[in-house]
Amino acid sequence: MIDIKNYNKDNVFGKILRKEIPSDPVYETEEVYAFKDINPQAPIHVVIIPKKEYCSFDDFSRSSEEKTILAMIRSIAIIADILKLKKGYRIISNIGDFGGQEIPHFHIHILGGKRLGRIITP
């Protein structure tokens, strides 16, 4: 298990869920919320988060209810349709320090709108 162990409510995505800071919504259900990334890394860059509290995809993978896992996974194609990503897109989830995770509330990035190239630049 990675070493982020306890969910810290004082993170940016927790604040967005509680509407303490604004966000630009793309899709929302009882289980998930998707909004535009504030610092887009591609012409289209949206972040999908569960409304329940998980530190990372690692934590989510170990601890989440099946209903929430299904909701997160199903939301990806729905959001891809909303964003009209017909030519393809990339999903990324950074996990922990070495994975480059900055915000410790589980999220999936969905990026598209151009040819994205190789997964990691050497």
Where along the sequence are the contacts to ligand AMP (CB under 6 A)?
A: 12, 21, 23, 37-39, 47, 94, 100-103
Distance CA 12, CA 88 (A): 28
Minimal distance in Å, beta carbon 55 to ligand AMP?
11
Q: Which of 45, 105, 107, 109 is catalytic?
A: 107
Least separation, in Å, of the C-beta of 56 and ligand AMP? 9
- Residue placing its CB nearer to ligand AMP in the complex, 45 or 52: 45
Of the two residues 21 and 116, which places its CB atom closer to ligand AMP in the complex? 21
Q: Closest CB to ligand AMP among 8 and 67?
A: 8
How many CB atoms sit inside 10 A of residue 97's CB?
11
**Bridge-partner residues for 78, per DSSP?**
none
Q: Is the dihedral of CA 14, 18, 24, 25 positive or negative?
A: positive
Q: How far is the CB of 68 from ligand AMP (least distance, A)?
A: 19
Question: Strands 89-92 and 25-28, how do they pair?
Answer: unpaired
Task: Report the alpha-carbon distance of residue 86 to residue 33 in Å, rounded.
Answer: 22
The answer to whether residue 107 is catalytic is yes
Enumerate the active-site residues.
107
